[in-house]
């Protein structure tokens, strides 16, 4: 059986175990696709330096913790959605891959879309809506869209150990308000202008995990999130920087986001130009899984989720 570490071994010449059973053949095929697709997003976590467009302290270092939460929520409450049509996605440090042009949109509670392209066309599509999430990368040898319902995520991850959890990602992108009642506050050991928010969460498989967010009190923003398993190992990280305040709404958003899944050796650097807050042009169609000509859809995680079809529209 392919181990988790073996599955995410994206080096050249990685060997997939063969199996004669139909189920194993389909699973191996999917693993081959995701192993190939992963080369577009794999990266090592590199620290980032936050550059704030906020010129003076928003809050004093001795601000009571509930007031810090209230300040953050006043910003988040104004953001139902945002989008940027000027995004650079960088799979840093792997096989010389350069930045990809992209557009990105987020809408609470579960809508997300990142579409990356090169001059010859789209090359990747990662998204989520109320029902499901999906991932596609252009691959002429083994075209495939991998998808699963949110309520089947635990079963899907048993088939394919994907680290992507849409709910965590959307929360990290700043459109989900904080719940003060679930937060355990902790002082930073060396920096009085920073504080940790600790929250107990449950992974899709039912295992306990902990979400820790670092808040820059002075600038009144969250600068990173980390998700750890019960053994203390980091499952996912999000670093945010280059916060700028929108001139029309007064909302502050990071223009640089670095995502990493250390155990899976996956990561993305996302740098955004102009960000539109609460765009009126967003529609449900924007958060609909694409239909791609001659590209089967592999729906994983459910009892009957081997659906494959050919889409009608080319990407």
Residue 152 has, within 13 A of its CA and on its CB side, a CA count of 17
What is the structure's pLDDT at 203?
84
DSSP 16: P
What is the structure's pLDDT at 19?
33
The helices-and-strands tally (H runs, E runs) of the chain is: 5, 15
Does 28 map to a domain?
A: yes
CA 34 to CA 261: how far, in whole Å? 15
Does 17 map to a domain?
A: yes
Does 309 map to a domain?
A: no
Closest CA to 25 of 138, 142, 152, 125: 142
What is the structure's pLDDT at 164?
65
Does 292 map to a domain?
A: yes
From residue 255, alpha-carbon distances to 77, 198, 244 in Å are 19, 24, 7
Number of domains in the chain: 1
CATH value at residue 189: 2.50.20.10
Does 150 map to a domain?
A: yes
Angle at Cα 2 formed by Cα 309 and Cα 127, nearest 5°?
40
DSSP 243: E
Structural domain range at position 173: 4-299
Does 310 map to a domain?
A: no
What is the structure's pLDDT at 92?
55
Residue 211 has, within 13 A of its CA and on its CB side, a CA count of 20
Q: Is the peptide bond before 109 cis (omega within 30 degrees of 0)?
A: yes
Closest CA to 187 of 197, 178, 202: 197
Does 81 map to a domain?
A: yes
What is the structure's pLDDT at 97?
57
What is the structure's pLDDT at 154?
81
Does 16 map to a domain?
A: yes
Residue 101 has, within 13 A of its CA and on its CB side, a CA count of 8
Q: Are 199 and 225 in contact (CB under 8 A)?
A: no
Instruction: Please give the model's pTM, rounded to 2 decimal places.
Output: 0.76
214: its two tokens: 């670092």
259: its two tokens: 């995502």
Q: What is the pLDDT along the chain (315 residues), one digit of tens a residue?
A: 323 332 233 222 222 222 333 333 444 444 444 444 443 333 333 333 345 544 588 999 999 999 999 999 999 999 999 999 999 998 754 444 578 999 999 999 999 999 999 888 888 899 999 999 998 888 778 888 989 999 888 888 777 666 567 888 999 999 999 999 999 999 999 999 999 999 999 887 788 999 999 999 999 999 999 999 999 999 899 999 999 999 889 999 999 999 988 877 778 899 999 999 999 988 989 999 999 888 989 888 764 344 433 333 334
- To which H or E segment does residue 166 belong? helix 166-172
- To which H or E segment does residue 158 belong? helix 153-159
CA 182 to CA 264: how far, in whole Å? 28
């Amino acid at each position: 059986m392919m181990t988790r570490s073996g599955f995410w071994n994206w080096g050249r010449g990685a060997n997939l175990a063969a199996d004669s059973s139909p189920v194993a053949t389909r699973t191996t095929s999917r693993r081959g696709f995701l192993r190939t697709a992963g080369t577009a997003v794999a990266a090592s976590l590199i620290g980032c330096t936050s550059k704030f467009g906020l010129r003076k302290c928003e809050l004093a270092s001795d601000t009571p913790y509930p007031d810090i939460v209230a300040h953050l929520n006043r910003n988040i409450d104004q953001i139902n959605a945002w989008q940027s049509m000027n995004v650079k996605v960088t799979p840093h440090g792997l096989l010389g891959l350069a930045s990809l042009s992209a557009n990105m949109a987020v809408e609470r509670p579960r809508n997300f879309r990142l579409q990356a392209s090169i001059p010859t066309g789209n090359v990747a599509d990662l998204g989520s809506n109320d029902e499901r999430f999906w991932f596609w990368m252009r691959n002429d040898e083994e075209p495939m869209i991998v998808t699963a319902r949110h309520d089947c995520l635990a079963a899907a991850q048993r088939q394919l150990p994907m680290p992507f959890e849409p709910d965590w990602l959307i929360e990290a992108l700043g459109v989900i308000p904080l719940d003060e009642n679930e937060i355990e506050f902790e002082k930073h050991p060396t920096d009085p202008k920073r504080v940790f928010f600790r929250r107990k969460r449950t992974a899709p498989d039912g295992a306990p995990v902990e979400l820790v967010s670092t808040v820059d009190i002075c600038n009144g923003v969250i600068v990173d999130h980390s998700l750890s398993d019960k053994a203390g190992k980091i499952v996912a990280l999000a670093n945010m920087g280059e916060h700028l305040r929108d001139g029309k709404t007064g909302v502050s958003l990071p223009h640089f986001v670095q995502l990493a899944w250390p155990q899976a050796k996956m990561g993305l650097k996302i740098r955004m130009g102009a960000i539109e807050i609460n765009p009126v042009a967003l529609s449900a169609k924007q958060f609909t899984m694409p239909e791609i000509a001659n590209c089967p859809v592999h729906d994983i995680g459910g009892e009957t989720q081997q659906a494959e079809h050919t889409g009608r529209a080319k990407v």
